[in-house]
Chains A and B, each alone.
Chain A
């Protein structure tokens, strides 16, 4: 097990990248602490798989240094890094039995057959496939195959970290919960460093201690689920996390007030007058938008209300920009409703980045 540091890692798939847009990974400085459970979250093409492949050594970064426990490993081969990776589609060796699949990484490394047997038997018990040890891997279900992929990582005692590349994509929904909780349990038991790539926010938030949100080849925020929810550092984070995502409304800032159309909204922070921003926006979670009667807040044009059981989502527009509000059960929606923003939960964004409280 090890701590993983990424130091000024940049990567481009082009031979001679020039502009920043040529880079699939713009510049990443990250530390995965030993034994931590991390999720890399982002939409497709944001560079999360690239980042993962750099850690596992399937890709060599164009620039920057990768360290395991302080030792540079940037140019070490995959085999020499003691990394395990579980892929999106289960990779099993079809013609081998489940047992041989698990023994494969050990046998390749010349481990004595007696030790192989002890280790494989242990892993079979852990991943709950003891009954199928002698079966060929070919006929198994997707979740069993994915467990074998994971098992091949666990079987090596020297594994520094286990990387997961959207491992639950092909798993049935009801098995996803089972596998995820087994994985969490294994993580607690073994304490390996775990990096989990996903584009599913629920998966990321329930699974990881810390979530790394990536957008356009950059890391936009690293934080606990709570931090991502309350203080999204970037409008993308606000938009990507939460269901529905954060409302982002273009505004003009005057001191501690934001002006949206002809209406004022109080802000917890002001914009540094020295700072020049091309674009300023107010961000507020639908959870913190309260509805008031006409005249109490900002007028909204209601497009529809969705009842999703526990609460309702009011979908509407304010000054032409989409705005969602979550309305608790039993609360009536007034005619011609207006929106009242909770000032403590209102965030101000300049050029898509959060404006911090003045320290």
Chain B
């Protein structure tokens, strides 16, 4: 069959192109533009070359925020992924328990970010919060506004509470797609529970896990609202992540140039890490899963 070549098809793409241009490309270009200039009041701009970038890359403030953010992202990945797999494995496969579990799991995902922050902010307060009051009453000195460790613990536990469900739901979707015959064959082959997990369940969850890791990494690396509501980046700068720092710089100090340079570097870091995760996990699983057609 011969392909019809019809350039008019491009017109169909125009509306989307227009939309994307206005919502993404043009703002991004503006940011790029700012990144190479210094701004003063009265809309005066001066070309500064790569000065903001060299400043940024040697700035201790940026390094600290980046390291904090990396520690945060890897901590929540290290907790949420195994925990999510574990919960998904425990969930019932049929019966009335399935909808109940699914609804329970979906609930945290439906709560808006700032509400999650507020919930935990109140929950953790030593005077009126259930958690804060309880911890202090059993002798643990817990105060997230003064103690960096408590602040970190709160932010991490909050993220785990909010987002583990996503990992659970993705893993569960992977698990229920495994035909019963695989488990039966494993029983006949005398496989242990661990072998079933290692050779049947994990390989089948591979592609959804990849999505889970990517989503959770990107989201946690860009986290803003929840820690901002709970700790405001404090105490001191101990929970100031990149996005909080960026907003401080851009809105608080109105340093548009350095903030623009930071945005671009920030963006590239996320892109780089996502690519690394994608490549590593895809190679670890061998060839791509091609099962859809056989079931």
Contacts and interface: CB of A to CB of B under 8 A. Distances in A.
A108 B185 CA distance: 13
B203 A95 contact: yes
Interface in A63-122: 77-79, 83-85, 87-91, 93-96, 104-105, 108-109
A88 B181 contact: yes
A152 B189 CA distance: 8
Contacts of A56: 184, 188
A170 interface: yes
Contacts of B289: 94
Query: Which 6 pairs, one residue from A and one from B, show the smallest C-beta to C-beta distance?
Result: A108-B190, A91-B185, A87-B181, A105-B189, A78-B187, A93-B199
A172 to B, nearest CB: 14
Nearest to A56: B188
Interface in B185-222: 185, 187-192, 195, 199-200, 203
B295 interface: yes
B184 A58 contact: yes
Interface string A150-161: 001100000000
Given A95-B286, A108-B189, A170 B184 contact: no
Given A56-B184, A142-B294, A152-B185, 10 more contacts: A77-B187, A79-B190, A89-B294, A91-B179, A91-B182, A96-B199, A104-B191, A105-B190, A108-B192, A149-B185
Contacts of A85: 184-185, 188
A153 B294 CA distance: 22
Contact of B286 (A83, A136, A153): A136
A177 to B, nearest CB: 22
A351 B286 CA distance: 59
B60 interface: no
Contacts of B189: 104-105, 108, 152
A89 B179 contact: yes
A138 interface: yes
A51 B294 CA distance: 25
User: Counting chain A CB atoms within 10 Å of each CB, which of B184, B191, B286 scores highest?
Assistant: B184
11 contacts: A77-B187, A78-B184, A85-B185, A89-B295, A91-B185, A95-B286, A104-B189, A104-B191, A108-B192, A142-B294, A153-B188
Interface string A24-56: 000000000000000000000000000001001
Nearest to B285: A95
A139 interface: yes
Contact of B181 (A89, A93, A109): A89
Q: Which of B179, B189, B286, B290: most chain A CB closer than 10 A?
A: B189
A138 B199 CA distance: 12
Nearest to B195: A108
Contacts of A96: 199
A152 B285 CA distance: 23
Interface of B: 179, 181-182, 184-185, 187-192, 195, 199-200, 203, 285-287, 289-290, 294-295
A53 B286 CA distance: 33
A152 B184 CA distance: 13
A138 B287 contact: yes
A58 B184 CA distance: 7
Given A88-B181, A91-B185, A108-B189, A139 B195 contact: no
Contact of B200 (A84, A87, A93, A105): A93
Contact of B203 (A94, A139, A149): A94
Contacts of A139: 287
A interface majority secondary structure:
mixed
B181 to A, nearest CB: 4
A188 to B, nearest CB: 24
B184 A87 contact: yes
B29 to A, nearest CB: 44
Contacts of B287: 136, 138-139
Contact of B188 (A79, A90, A94, A138): A79
Contacts of B190: 79, 105, 108-109
Residue among A84, A89, A96, A152 with max Cβ neighbours from chain B (10 Å): A89
Nearest to A142: B294
A90 B189 CA distance: 14
B205 to A, nearest CB: 12
A87 B185 contact: yes
Contact of A79 (B181, B187, B200): B187
Given A108-B195, A170-B294, A138 B286 contact: yes
A91 B295 CA distance: 11
A48 to B, nearest CB: 16
B203 to A, nearest CB: 5
B181 A108 contact: no
Nearest to A145: B294
A95 B291 CA distance: 13
Contacts of A152: 185, 189
A93 B286 CA distance: 13
Contact of A78 (B188, B195, B199, B286): B188
Contacts of B187: 58, 77-79
Most chain B C-beta atoms within 10 Å of own C-beta, residue among A79, A85, A89, A95 = A95
B282 to A, nearest CB: 14
B63 to A, nearest CB: 40
Nearest to B184: A58
B250 to A, nearest CB: 47
B197 to A, nearest CB: 12
- B179, B181, B185, B200 pick with most chain A CB within 10 angstroms: B185
B275 to A, nearest CB: 24
A142 B179 CA distance: 16
Nearest to A110: B190
Contact of A91 (B181, B192, B195): B181
A83 B185 CA distance: 10
Nearest to B200: A93
B75 to A, nearest CB: 28
Contacts of B179: 89, 91
B196 to A, nearest CB: 10
